[in-house]
Amino acid sequence: MTSIIKTHDLHKCYWVGTMPHPALHGINLDIKQGEFAVLAGRSGSGKSTLLNIIGALESADSGSVEVFGQNILEMTQDQRTRFRLHNIGFVFQAYNLIRVFSARENIAYVCQLQGKSKEESLEIANHWLREVEIEHLGYRRPDQLSGGQQQRVAIARALASDPKIILADEPTANLDTQTGRNLIHLMQDLNQRLGTTFLISSHDPDVKEAASRLIKLADGQIVDEWSTIPKTPTSIYSDCPVQNMPFGERVQFMIKRLIRWRRIRKPSKKNRRRS
């Protein structure tokens, strides 16, 4: 499968006054086309920051982010805006629909930004409302919709610009369990039918369960990842960073990784005193 998102040694630090708050610490990530990837981790682990940087909503301090082979960190603000408009769809935790627009207009607005006519945009909006199974609610405003319905509109809006990637930040966090599950099934269905790549940040167990690839983050680092996507015999180790290492180095790498994992899960007394 083709890589569509690649990050290399990504660092990001927020500053509160003179106090640094590291958010990402050397993230190397490779997302393939058609994946239903989930970024998991506790609050503050860097999921949303990573998603924002990949989505060109935020800058990184160092490293590179390549989306469709273009380093988005080198783009100007306006280039990023145009890039997002044509390549990336966003789904936010708080839905973030434009409250003065109806559901249909929220979806059509993106198409109009792409230069499509009003009529064509509304046609596309109707299509996506059908896809997310709320066609009958198209004329309602966001405040007349339930949370689940709003999130369906948000997904339809994200898809309306025909993006290759959907970035969803905690899409089920504000929903009850059943509505959340329905939404996950909807996203999975769209992923399988349309081949759209989903990169979702979530700590919802249902979302993690649905993932074709799970990337765990802790303290701004990837601490674990696995994939359910069957790999061909020729590429079985293609994603493994140790694929070309000699046997001894491989063992050493795995031990180090295990130690780091344990430290993160259960900090040492020394680390606990520090924190």
Contact call for residue 101 and other proteins (CB under 8 A): yes
User: Which helix (H) or strand (E) is 21 found in, with range?
Assistant: strand 19-32
Pair 201, 173: CB distance under 8 Å: no
**Binder of other proteins out of 2, 69, 100, 136 (CB under 8 A):** 100
Task: Compute and round to an integer the Cα radius of gyration of the chain.
Answer: 20
Tokens 């940040």 belong to which residue?
A: 201
Which region among 25-33, 52-60, 204-212, 239-247 touches other proteins (by CB under 8 A)?
52-60
**Binder of other proteins out of 92, 190, 207, 213 (CB under 8 A):** 92
Residues 6+ apart with CB under 8 A from 205: none
Which region among 1-9, 21-29, 82-90, 235-243 touches other proteins (by CB under 8 A)?
82-90
**Binder of other proteins out of 9, 20, 98, 256 (CB under 8 A):** 98
Cα 84 to Cα 129, 149, 157, distances in angstroms: 21, 24, 13
Pair 191, 32: CB distance under 8 Å: no
Minimum Å gap between C-beta 167 and other proteins is 10
Which region among 86-94, 124-132, 182-190, 258-266 touches other proteins (by CB under 8 A)?
86-94
Contact call for residue 144 and other proteins (CB under 8 A): no
The whole-angstrom separation of Cα 255 and Cα 263 is: 12
- DSSP string computed for 228-263: -S---GGGTTTT-TTTTS-HHHHHHHHHHHHHHHHH
Q: Segment 157-176, which members bind other proteins (CB under 8 A)?
A: 157, 161
DSSP-derived secondary structure letter, 136: G
Nearer to other proteins by C-beta: 61 or 239? Answer: 61
Alpha-carbon 268 to chain mean position: 32
**Binder of other proteins out of 81, 117, 243, 268 (CB under 8 A):** 81
Minimum Å gap between C-beta 15 and other proteins is 13
Contact call for residue 43 and other proteins (CB under 8 A): no
Nearer to other proteins by C-beta: 12 or 216? Answer: 12
Contact positions vs other proteins (CB under 8 A): 52, 55, 57-58, 77-78, 81-82, 84-86, 90, 92, 96-101, 109-110, 113-114, 157, 161
